[in-house]
Structure formats: C-alpha cells, structure tokens
Structure 1
Amino acid sequence: MEIEIWSDIGCPFCYIGKRNFEMGLDQFDAKDQVNVIYRSFRLDPTAPVQPEETMVELLAKKYGRSLEEAKQMNAQISDSARAAGLEFNLDTVVPSNTMDAHRLVKQAETAGKDDMAMEYLYKAYFTDNRNVADRETLLEIAGDIGLDISAVDNMFSADDYKEAVISDQNEATQHGAQGVPYFVINRKYSVSGAQPPEKFLEAMKKVQQEEESLVDLGDNQGSTCTDEYCE
C-alpha cells in the first residue's frame, strides 16, 4: 500500500495530521507493507526568507482579528497539538518561506531519511521556533539526521529539487486538494485534514479490504476503483 502525504512545513495541522496518521498506522495489521511518500505543498510560496511580521500579526491580518484573538486561535491549535503529543509554541513561530525546507526533504528521501527530515523540520518550526528558511539552520538539521552537509550545501547552491517541489504542488491541485494535509492512498482514496487516528486506520482498512476483494475476484473486474474516501 502506498500513501502519499501532501503537507507544508509551516502548517500546524500537517504536523498534527502526521502524528495522528502515524498512530493510526501503528494499529494497522499490514503497517509493514505501507510505503509512505512525502509530497511538497507550500501554503505561501511568496513568504519571505526573513519575515518582518510575527505569526500572531500575520494571523490577525489574514483573518481580520485582533492580536489577542489571534493568540487565542494559536492557543486552540496548541491544545490540539498537545492532544497528539506535540508541543507547539505558535506565538513565537518564525513564519518564513519553506521552499528550501522542502528541498531538504527531497534530498533526505534519497537517503531514506525523509520522515526524519520532516520530524526535525516540524520540531524546529513549531517547537523550537527556528527559521526553516535559514541556510545554516537547514544545514544543521541535515547534519543532525546524518546527511552529507557538503552535498546538501551544494544542492542549495544549485536549483536541485525546485521543480520537484513545484510539480508536487501542481499534482495536489490535479487531485483536487483544497488544502493540506492531504493523504492519498494507492492513488484512489483521499483523506483530508488532521483526522483522528481512527479515521486513518479506517481508511487503510477499507483500501486493504477492497484490494483483497479485487485479488479474490480475479482479472475479470475493472482495472481501477475510482471511489474517493474523504472525511
């Protein structure tokens, strides 16, 4: 079973959704047969590398709220994160461009360390409040997860993986994704948002049962199943 996850490093619900998905996957009896692929999605491709506003200020401006109301929004999201076992410090997050962070994940994927890269980047952003657009920060994370720092530095100096990041986002649009996180199972079923663990487990079981039924029924059945699982 192949599960593609479209997400952005700067999306709080993507981090929560990742953790909830992992809890659901841990309960899945065929979890060892699941291949997880991380796909890039940038919520704000025009975000600056060196932000001039705080996350609270950006939220207040975006939703037409006061700074205090924006802080309350952050508190509610932090409560959801805590329920998933995560620590968020949203009021002091550094909202920045995530292109290079996504490129680092692509580089890490070649070494089988993309999941680790996602974890370190999410923690750096939401818990430690580091600027994940900063080159030195990204190189430090690369070293922490065991990547060749020189190779990563060379990758950043070139345009490596930029087209792949953009292609991922275009593909999400083609799938009909309205936002992230967005999970696609076997290119047939989708689960949108930071669903509870049991929802992810339910989706995986559904796909498993239907795939097994297709095998049992033989080659006379239709070539694909186009049903969409979406909560």
Structure 2
Amino acid sequence: MEIWSDVVCPWCYIGKRRFESALREFERSVPGADVEVEWKSFELDPTAVSVTTRAEGPSDDHVRRLAAKFGQGVEQVRAMVEHVDATAAAEGLEFHQDLSVPTNTVKAHQLLHLARERGVQGAVKERFLRANFTEGEALGDDETLVRLAAEAGLDPVESRAVLAEDRYLDAVRADEAEAAALGARGVPFFVVDRRYGVSGAQPAEQFFQVLDRAWRESRPLTFVGGEDADACGPEGCAV
C-alpha cells in the first residue's frame, strides 16, 4: 500500500485514521494477511515559507491565510475549517487548526524517507501529523523536526545530517513526479498493488473493500487432488 500525503493536509490525517480502521478489520478478517504501508511525499504548497516559532495561542490567522490563498470569505473558510475539525473528531482526532503554523514540508518529507529506511516511518508520520494538527508545532523548524522525529525513534544526529545535506531531496521529488504520473491531483492518494487507486479520505468501508479485492486477486486458487478426478468438461464427462 503506497500512500501519498502531506503532513499539513487535514484530510490526509483523517484518511490515515479511516485507512487504519479498515486495515485492522481486514487483518482480523484475513488471518495471516501481510500489508506493507509506504508513505510517499507530496507537498501541497512547495512555495510555502516556514515560520519557525510555535504559535503562542489560538488565533484566526490560519483561517485568514486560507481565505486569502483561495480568494474566499473569512466566514466561509471558518465554516469549512470547523467542518473538518468535526469530521476529525468523529475519527478520534483532536484538531486545533487555530494553532497552525505556516510550514514548508519538504524537510519533514526528507525525514520520512529516512524513517522508512530505519523501519519507523509510520511512527514518524503519526508524530508529525499530531504535532501539526493537535499541538501547533512549527514543522518548518529543523530542531523541532529533529525533536519530534527522535520521539518516534529516529537518531537526532542522523536527522540533523539529513536536513543539513538535503539528503533525500531527490527522493521527495521522485515521489511527487510519480504521483503526477499516476494521475494524483490531490492527497491523500492510496495505491494498492499498483492495481487500484483510491483518491481522498474515503470511508473505512471503501478501504476495506479495495484491500479485500486486491488480496483475493493476488492469491490464486491452489488446486489439490489429482488431475483425473471425476468431472465433466466440454469434451464430456469422466467415466
């Protein structure tokens, strides 16, 4: 399972929870199922400029930034944000987007590539999402990223080196080019076995269905018994 998303995308966090719910149900239904999840890079706004200080407290800044960016009214955007927060709450997530800090996410994505190599990508992804949407952390600040990644299992010294060298920048760009080639116009974007694509934070039931279908198609029947068993075919029946 390959999942393209961004750590400042609210529907990506909601979609992650819905997918995880479906995955738990799928694994209960199919004992022995082995689903590998890889988080891929996607920047919602590659031109974003990071603020490197944490928000002092709740404010309307996030709503006003979105209203200016998309050319919509403040009240309209506020209603949209409140709807997203309520949807997140229904999935067990606590959103405080009024603490949001403007962030360019390319460095966070580089650490997620490191995390995949070290076997802790899922934990780092979750930590970054919670830091952004619940805690109002400044994910554009190198030391904040290093601290959060360390809490999820990455070595701080190695993380600092990755950020200083832009070690995985090419890998981030490759992920983004791949998303475009696959036809992804937004995130979250889920790809199963390079056979099925799911766009958006679909209900858990939808994720379960695609997991189940991909699993069944990847597990052809194994025939047991002899080839000469009694049966009928186009040429007649065994006698």
Q: Same fold (TM over 0.5)?
A: yes
Aligned to 2:237: none
Equivalent position of 1:143 in the other structure: 150
Mapped to 2, the partners of 1:170 and 1:56 lie a distance apart of 30
Specify the alignment match of 2:141 in structure 1: 134
Query: Are the equivalent residues in 2 in contact too, given 1:71–1:91 (CA < 8 A)?
Result: no
2:111 to 104, 108, 131: 104
Using the aligned pairs only, state the percent identity: 40
By how many angstroms is 1:216 displaced? 5.2
What stretches of structure 1 move > 4 A for 4+ residues in a row? Answer: none
Counterpart of 1:192 in structure 2: which amino acid?
S
5+ long unaligned stretches in structure 2:
53-59, 224-239
TM-score normalized by the length of structure 1: 0.88
On the 8 A contact 1:100/1:133 being kept in 2, the answer is yes
Larger Rg: 2
Q: CA deviation at 1:178?
A: 1.0
Q: Distance in 1 between matches of 2:222 and 2:62?
A: 52
In structure 1, the residue matched to 2:44 is 43
TM-score, scaled to structure 2: 0.85
Q: Which residue of 1 aligns with 2:235?
A: none
Contact 1:74-1:91 at 8 Å conserved across structures: no
What residue number does 2:226 align with? Answer: none
Which residue of structure 2 lines up, in the alignment, with residue 56 of structure 1?
63
- Give 5+ residue unaligned stretches, structure 1: 218-231
Shift of 1:32: 4.3
SS in 2 for 1:150: helix
The separation in 1 between residues aligned to 2:84 and 2:139, in whole angstroms, is 20
> Contact between 2:127 and 2:149, CA under 8 Å: does it hold in 1?
no
Q: Which residue does the alignment assign to 2:189?
A: 182
For 1:76, the equivalent position in structure 2 comes to 83
Of 80-89 and 204-213, the range deviating more from structure 2: 204-213
How many Å apart are 1:121 and its aligned residue?
0.2
